[in-house]
Homo-oligomer: A and B are copies of this chain.
């Protein structure tokens, strides 16, 4: 199947992402084989609270990017949605706009489909779309909680979308969310309060430690498409900055390390549990704990010794 993917077969693409979602055991061999063909796409994360207009923003960006003859993929992740595989209404409407365009691939993923964890599934899906040959991949995610931050961390450039709406004031945004933004978008810029939102953002940026890149603030109106070209210009600017400063190399290295670490710990965990289950009854051990005949620390230590992984720790 990976050969078909590398040849640009869209059905192979869709099926491979489904395999990743279903945590199909056969996926590992395929991910191994496509790995050499990854690392070419530039990945842009788009995040923000529900209703800030991320989807229509991305739609406008798609039109713009296609006119530059770049192939683009969108992975729309909604951690709070059980739906997956492009079944949600909004997704189908969006598909209609672009369905005739082979240069665009849109896929939505919900939490229920992600057996290996949404963060893991997203990472693997990005890899597949990357190997498929897309130049630009958007990870669009709804909400600004931990799961969204976890998902957006696979992006090279992250865009945080805000609106001037009252409940969406800059002060109400949780710590840890502002820090992930490389570019701020104040969407629905025709709403009252736009200037205040921009001012608040500027003030916050003035107070931030700040590196070589100061996140720009773009006002957009995603219904009309206003400001979208400027947004795309800034994304391209940020990409240039990452490439020229060596930052891109750095974050990709960091990401490769993390992926390897995750994979290693996943393998270790599986192996350790296989060995344990082959040797002892965990239920009996738990009984010993409940009766306070032992404690979890001593028990874990002894058990690892028993399965051939003696620890040097106390």
Listed in ascending order, the chain A residues whose CB lies under 8 Å from chain B are 25, 28-29, 31-32, 35-36, 38-39, 80, 145-147, 167, 174-175, 249, 252-253, 256-257, 259-260, 262-272, 274, 282, 285-286, 289-290, 292, 295-301, 303-304, 308-309, 311-314
Complex formed: what's the CA distance from A32 to B267 in Å? Answer: 29
A272 to B309, CA, bound (A): 9
B271 adjacent to A312 (CB under 8 Å): yes
Q: Give the complex CA separation of A175 and B25 in angstroms.
A: 30
- Cβ–Cβ contact B260 & A313, under 8 A: no
Whether the Cβ atoms of A314 and B28 lie closer than 8 Å is yes
A29 touches B314 (CB 8 A): yes
Q: Are B297 and A28 in contact (CB under 8 A)?
A: yes
Instruction: Provide the main secondary structure of the chain A interface.
Output: helix
Residues of B within 8 A of A167 (CB): 167
Q: How far is the CA of A292 from the CA of B127 in the complex (A)?
A: 13
- Within the assembled complex, what's the spacing in Å between the Cα atoms of A266 and B249? 31
Contact residues in B for A308 (Cβ distance below 8 Å): 308-309
Query: Which of A31, A38, A271 is most buried by chain B, counting CB atoms within 10 A of its CB?
Result: A271
Interface-centre pick from A175, A292, A297 (highest chain B CB count, 10 A):
A297
Q: Could you say which residues of chain B place their CB within 8 Å of the CB of A80?
A: 174-175
| Among A174, A252, A264, A308, residue most surrounded by chain B Cβ atoms (within 10 Å) | A264
| A268-B39 in contact (CB<8A) | no
Give the distance in Å from the alpha carbon of A297 to the alpha carbon of B306 in the complex: 27
Residues of the B chain whose Cβ atoms lie less than 8 Å from the Cβ of A266: 300
18 A-B pairs with CB atoms under 8 Å apart are: A25-B314, A28-B297, A35-B296, A146-B146, A146-B147, A253-B286, A253-B290, A256-B296, A257-B289, A260-B285, A260-B299, A267-B301, A267-B304, A267-B313, A268-B269, A270-B311, A271-B309, A308-B308
Residues of B within 8 A of A301 (CB): 267
B31 & A286 in contact (Cβ 8 Å cutoff): no
Closest B residue, CB atoms, query A81: B175
Q: Contact check: which of B32, B296, B309, B311 meets A297 at CB < 8 Å?
A: B32
* Complexed CA–CA distance, A256 and B271 (Å): 22
Q: In the complex, which residues of chain B have a beta carbon less than 8 angstroms from the beta carbon of A28?
A: 297, 314
A78 → chain B closest CB, angstroms: 12
